[in-house]
Amino acid sequence: MSRITADLVKIGLALDDSDASPADAAVDQSKSCARVSFSRNLRYGESDLNVLDVARTGDSRETSPRPVLLFVAGESFTGGDGTTDVAGPLQDEAMCFAARNGMVGVKVAYRLAPENPWPAGARDVAAAISWIRQNIDLFGGSSGMIVAVGYSAGAFHVASFLGHPEFQERDSGVAGAVLVSGIYRASADASATEKSYFGADASKYDERSAFPGILNIETPILLAWSVLDAPRLIAQGEKLKELLCNSATHCPHTTVLRSRDSLSSVFGTASGGSLAEPTLELVREIEARGLP
């Protein structure tokens, strides 16, 4: 039994139906994921949806601890699209972006509405981060260098986690956050899927938003939306930027994407109109500042 396998048995981690360990994980054969090893369906909570995948290159014992990109993604607050998106290969490609750039990539699945309404998403983000802080050293990652990437519905869950300390766990802090095309405050014209998560009573939407808590944090934030997003999403991003820039903490880094077909597409190139270089710059900034 390898050292990593023994450690996994010791802490009670559950892989899916295979006997593979992180040390023996299969390498994706696609071009973007060549030489990237995956560890699948590691359980971080009680629900069957509370699982995460880890991607890395090389042997976790060969280098100093690496930064961690945690991807919290889903096109919807409900089942169906959210489940498919979280499990899809396009998110694997985003994890491979992290691994190819000297980081550890983590993709988290979370509970979905209507069975699990607000604040289940934020609580799951907190639980996943707590798991990562306790166990990511087994994969060569740094527990103090976690950057949470929230995409679409996942952007709200990350923002809500940041803005509501009451949902956080004792060891669930992050060094930075990337928020992509999210809804940060639901409104009376919320869609049916949004209402299934936030509830039908619009009078409660303000207290269930990311505000005002997210305006009081010092966590570095990279905020992004796409020129192809619906006007409502663009307005949400612009409003969050305005409020953060006028807050007592800091103005976020901001990127306007050229497209947003999927989580992997926004990291598709290291040049203009993508999140690749701005995300790497954020990680380098955090490393230079020695955060958190």
- Alpha-carbon distance 239 to 108, whole Å? 27
pLDDT, one tens digit per residue, over 46-65 is 999 999 999 999 876 666 89
- pTM: predicted TM-score of the whole model, two decimal places: 0.87
Three-state secondary structure call for residue 160: helix
Mean pLDDT value across the chain: 86
The predicted pLDDT at position 82 comes to: 39
Give Cβ neighbours of residue 45 (< 8 Å, ≥ 6 apart).
124, 127, 128, 131
- Encoded amino acid at 203, one letter: S
Phi-psi region of 191 (alpha: psi -120 to 50; beta: other; left: phi over 0): beta
Q: Which of 17-26, 163-172, 262-271 has the highest mean pLDDT?
A: 163-172
Which residue would you say has higher pLDDT here, 82 or 214? 214
pLDDT digits (tens, 9 = 90+) for 137-147: 999 999 999 99
pLDDT value, residue 48: 95
Mean pLDDT for the stretch of residues 189-195: 95
Hey, what long-range contacts does 36-43 have (CB within 8 A, 24 or more apart)?
Answer: 36/95, 36/96, 36/99, 36/100, 38/92, 38/95, 39/15, 39/139, 40/15, 40/16, 41/14, 41/15, 41/16, 42/13, 42/14, 42/15, 42/131, 43/13, 43/14
Mean local confidence (pLDDT), 23-33 = 51
- What is the SS3 string spanning 196-212? HHHCCCHHHCCCCCCCC
Q: How confident is the model at residue 291 (pLDDT cuts 50, 70, 90)?
A: low
Is the pLDDT at 44 greater than 90, yes or no? yes
Q: Above 80 in pLDDT, residue 20?
A: no
Higher-confidence residue: 13 or 101?
Answer: 101
21 pLDDT higher than 90: no
